Structure 1
Amino acid sequence: MKEVERVKKIGYVIDEAIGYFTPDISRINHLFKVYSYAKTIGEMENLDEKMQEILEVTAVLHDIGIKVSEEKYQSSAGCYQEIEGPAIARKILEQLGYDEVFIERVCYIIAHHHTYHEIDRLDFQILVEADFLVNIDEDQMSKEAIQSIKEKIFKTRTGINYINHLYL
């Protein structure tokens, strides 16, 4: 990894994630789509500046464990991503100068982002909604599956508005 001035800017996190996932353009595009939805929903839901920053960084890194999961377990299953992702995210964020409290929160969300009963705050809720908005399209889910996801998972006004407008 390149030597970077110790600043906290989302561009550096994105740059590290692109480098990590290259040449897998589908994973890179996925992180950009989730990031875009998460950023927008967070802003529309009026997150405070710190929670918005945590949300955006987590959105970029949420699937960072998928590469190791496929190598180690021959699977991209969410449970393996939750195991492998936090250590990789921690290394990136430490290099970029993020503080321990920030890193802990990002790693917590990454370590649970497929365990929906663990959602504990709005940053986590929005990340899950953004990921579903992208996965619904990428996985070509049925209307019935989408309706079920909406009823069981979506809670924010903006996320509900987007799932309705985009898919229902």
Structure 2
Amino acid sequence: MDETKQVKLLETMMEFDRGDPMRIQHFLKVWGFARQIGKMEELDERTQEILETAAIVHDIGIKVCLEKYGNCTGKHQEEEGPALAEKMLTELGYDAELISRVSFLVGHHHTYTNVKGIDYQILLEADFLVNSYEGQKKSETIEAFCRNVFRTPSGIRLLSLQSGLKLGE
């Protein structure tokens, strides 16, 4: 993984979300959880790079959604985000194959069915780990989401540790 390129992407996303510390904090936390789960699951280097890149840009569509629709529903984010991610990643010199997969992940990060690929699975889990805390989700919601969406042993472990609930045990 090209760490210099990743540092530039992080800075570019922070510039994109300038003045919105909640959004910046959110994507940094999702990236941190995605990175941790990916390392715990021992992803190959390329899949880890795709995962971490997608985690950084996963909510890139929110600003446009708020301007265009007055809300940022998951569906709108999935519609608006991929083109913005593609543009940013192209400008930063990422390769076409990575851009294509990251675009797919950005366009599906609120879709919890037909999950294909460990990068997709981990992105969903990392985003929920952050959203469950930021949204102060109830135990029942966390347990149901864990049961219905989480699949990686590492994601389940981190959710259990964070929530204090006995999940997947």
When normalised by structure 1's length, the TM-score is 0.94
Structure showing greater relative contact order (alpha-carbon pairs closer than 8 Å, 6 or more residues apart): 1
Quick check: 1:154 aligned with 2:130?
no
Aligned-residue CA RMSD in angstroms? 1.1
Structure-1 residue corresponding to 2:22: 26
Cα distance in 1 for partners of 2:106, 2:134 equals 20
Unaligned runs of 5+ in 2: none
Match of 2:101 among 100, 105, 127: 105
Structure-1 residue corresponding to 2:160: 164
When normalised by structure 2's length, the TM-score is 0.94
Question: Percent of aligned pairs with the same residue?
Answer: 45
Cα distance in 2 for partners of 1:35, 1:98 equals 18
Q: Secondary structure at the match of 2:116?
A: coil
Cα distance in 1 for partners of 2:155, 2:102 equals 21
Structure-2 residue corresponding to 1:133: 129
Aligned AA for 1:91? Answer: K
Per-residue displacement from partner, 1:74-124 (whole Å, max 9, x unpaired)? 011110000110111001110111111110000000001101114210001
Unaligned runs of 5+ in 1: 1-6
Size of the alignment, in residue pairs?
162
Aligned AA for 2:26? Answer: H
Alignment of 1:29-40 (within 5 A): 29-40=25-36
Q: Which runs of 4+ in 1 moved over 6 A?
A: none
Quick check: 1:122 aligned with 2:123?
no
